[in-house]
Amino acid sequence: MPYFSRSGSLTSFPEVAREAGLDPISLLQEFGLPRGCLGEPDSMVPSESVCCLLEAAAARSGVEAFGLRMAEARKISSLGPLGMFAREQKTLRDAVTALADYARILNESLSISLEESADVAILREELLVGGVVPVRQATELAVGLLFKMMCSFLGVDWKPLRVCFVHDAPVDTSVHARVFGRDVQFDAEFNGIVCARRDLTVANPHADATIARYAMQLLEHRKAPNRDRFESRVRQLVVLQLSSGQCTVARIAQMLRVDRRTIHRRLLEEGETFSGIVDSVRRELAGRYLADGHRTLAQISSLLGFSAPSGFSRWHRHHFGRPASEARTRRTHGHG
């Protein structure tokens, strides 16, 4: 199923592209994105096309942190009603929860979750675009925007405990250090931000409940009925939980506050199964990680939630008809 994102996600693309010596309009046209989408931030464009556009811009300009440069140039208002809704929440925890609840209205391929322990909070962001395409730049754009939203509560000088990216490190990490601080980890097990749990309780003295209600009404109005399916909620949680090794139907049922039988029944009503959703997510991520070429098969196996590489090997052969090692070799050498 193709996913779409709000064309407002391209805010600051023309400026960053021109600074990097690129023609933003010709690039948009090359990837099938209408020029008019830059002036219509609420129009929806294919997420896969946006990801490919940003990857091409980074490759052709030599600006490795192209997506992060876009985030750096953006304001929270570029998120439209979602940015307004988050900005008017009482605490940072409320704002993050709002983003997690409504992120798919902004970008159908984006999933956000908040995990809390005794002293630490983890904000995860993952992208599933419906195809095996690189998402490095789009991921750094999304994490960069989340970071800016957090800074709007915690102050411009605030730095997280750690910022994590699944992809490998660029040659030049100066932009990452300038934006996030020194504690940026690449080749991590998830994409997102780690902060002190107490940061989530910081109050927003400018929160306006009236504006928040108005923004929520706008967000509810923009929900696409055919996309607001139970299957979508389950898939979102599967994407976020897969690398934890705890992506079981029991765990997902607990997070949705229903029992396992309800999961199976409601998915069956929509023509889906839990195992089918897990396999679908794994197929896209497996293709992405194998194409990257910098991870071992054992690392990929872990990221996909397998307890051992042998399980990943059997799964890959069953679904693709060849060993994962062969698939990686072919992709690395450009044979698809």
**Any idea of the CA torsion for 82, 91, 183, 244, to the nearest 10 degrees?**
-80
Q: Compute the average pLDDT of residues 154-160.
A: 93
The answer to whether residues 189 and 302 touch, using CB atoms and an 8 Å cutoff, is yes
Backbone angles phi, psi at 111, to 5 degrees: -120, 135
Q: Compute the average pLDDT of residues 72-80.
A: 87
Most confident listed range (37-51, 151-165, 321-335): 151-165
User: Does residue 227 surpass a pLDDT of 70?
Assistant: no
**pTM, full prediction:** 0.86
Q: Which residue has the higher pLDDT, 195 or 295?
A: 195
pLDDT band at 79 (very low <50, low <70, confident <90, very high): confident
Buried-state track 175-185, b at ≥16 Cβ within 10 A, e below 16 = bbeebbbeebe
Chain centroid to Cα 261, Å, comes to 29
pLDDT band at 335 (very low <50, low <70, confident <90, very high): very low
Q: Domain 230-332 falls in which CATH fold?
A: Arc Repressor Mutant, subunit A (1.10.10)
120-127 and 184-185 beta bridge pairing? unpaired
Per the DSSP assignment, residues forming a β-bridge with 111 are: 126
Amino acid in position 310: S
User: What would the pLDDT profile of 86-123 be if each residue is shown by its tens digit?
Assistant: 999 999 999 999 998 888 877 888 999 999 999 999 99
The ranges assigned to domains in the chain are 4-201, 230-332
Task: Assign 3-class secondary structure to the chain.
Answer: CCCEEEHHHHCCHHHHHHHCCCCHHHHHHHCCCCHHHHHCCCCEEEHHHHHHHHHHHHHHHCCCCHHHHHHHCCCHHHHCHHHHHHHCCCEHHHHHHHHHHHHHHHECCEEEEEEECCCEEEEEEEECCCCCCCCHHHHHHHHHHHHHHHHHHHCCCCCCCEEECCCCCCCCCHHHHHHHCCCEECCCCCCEEEEEHHHHHCECCCCCHHHHHHHHHHHHHHCCCCCCCHHHHHHHHHHHHHHHCCCCHHHHHHHHCCCHHHHHHHHHHCCCCHHHHHHHHHHHHHHHHHHHCCCCHHHHHHHCCCCCHHHHHHHHHHHHCCCHHHHHHHHHCCCC
Question: What pLDDT shows up at residue 223?
Answer: 67
Question: What pLDDT shows up at residue 259?
Answer: 94
Chain centroid to Cα 290, Å, comes to 19
Q: Domain 4-201 falls in which CATH fold?
A: H-NOX domain (3.90.1520)
Question: What pLDDT shows up at residue 315?
Answer: 93
Tokens (6 digits) for 289: 């990680």
